[in-house]
Amino acid sequence: MNVDNDEVGILARLQSAFKDAPTENIEPTEKKKDGEVVRGVVTSGDARRLFVARKPCGKQLDEYMATHEALHTSGRSEPHDCINWAKRAVIQVEAIDILHTLMWQAVTEECPVLVANNASLRAGWEIVSVGEWIEEPVLENNENLGLSFIPRLKSILESEIDASTPCGDLIDLEEGEEVIGVVEDNRIRALSLFQIALIEDAKKIIPEDIGTKGPKAFGDFSLNELQRIIHVMDHFKGLKETVNKIMFRAIRDSLPAAENISIGLRKNDQVVKTRDKSDSGISFVITPTGPALSIPLSSLFR
């Protein structure tokens, strides 16, 4: 499958990343630095394929930037040139962000202690860290979605998850919202249900008192127990946000009217234009020097 262009939707791009053999042997090239400690080696095929899958997105993004710059240099640039560049760039940046996050989740499923630790990849697929390292995994049961996220996502992409019913846990249409389409792809419905499943799985792991008493319950736990709870909550929150990004990117891929506006998903699978809510950290803005992208870069590096 050709994934070297922005016409390929995120679901097809992810399918290709998981199924197709990499056309290039790409791996981390940065060597281990002084002070870094090797904590493991990545052997996961999924993690390696996701690492490779980011390259076409970065290549396309570089080409868009070069074309955009050339238009300005030539003096032939018009407002629509900038807007077109920004729209296409957003798609590639979102794809890079999603692929990067999924790659690290695949690494984490192979090395569960990463739920509670920060690490980097180095040459030879070494997992390295600096400073404090928590040895005891805060998640150990591979049956929970915190450590079996990738297999569930792959099942969704292959339409192996039954999602023929409307998306679950959705709110009614709100005042002032405009319906611009309806979700027809069962995989998008499955992604909506996936978010609910993540919440339910997290509830099984996090002590019940946290759900009923909120932050007041924190005083009932030791420092180590509290750290474990926070790491688990952060991990599941991040996974839910990743599914949300994939779902809304898939909606935009299937519904052109949803591009470049804030959208929401409502009961009966209705896609709506919302008034002031945003589902993405990436936005298209107008600056004194022209159109530009507002991108939270922190999510792209680790």
pLDDT digit string, tens, across residues 69-127: 887 788 766 666 677 777 888 888 999 999 999 999 999 999 999 999 999 999 999 99
Annotated domain spans of the chain:
10-300
Q: How far apart are CA 239 and CA 205, in angstroms?
A: 15
Mean pLDDT along residues 5-23 = 83
**pLDDT by residue (tens digit) across 38-51?**
999 999 999 999 99
Q: Which of 5-9, 27-31, 40-44, 239-243 has the lowest mean pLDDT?
A: 5-9
**pLDDT by residue (tens digit) across 272-292?**
998 754 454 555 554 555 545
Model pLDDT, residue 206: 81
- Residue 227 makes CB contacts below 8 A (sequence gap 6+) with 116, 134, 138
Q: What is the pTM of this model?
A: 0.83
Model pLDDT, residue 171: 85
Q: Is the pLDDT of residue 298 over 50?
A: no
Decide if 150 contacts 106 (C-beta within 8 A).
yes
Tokens of 131: 């400073």
Q: What is the DSSP letter of 9?
A: -
**pLDDT by residue (tens digit) across 190-231?**
999 999 999 999 988 887 766 555 555 666 677 888 888 889
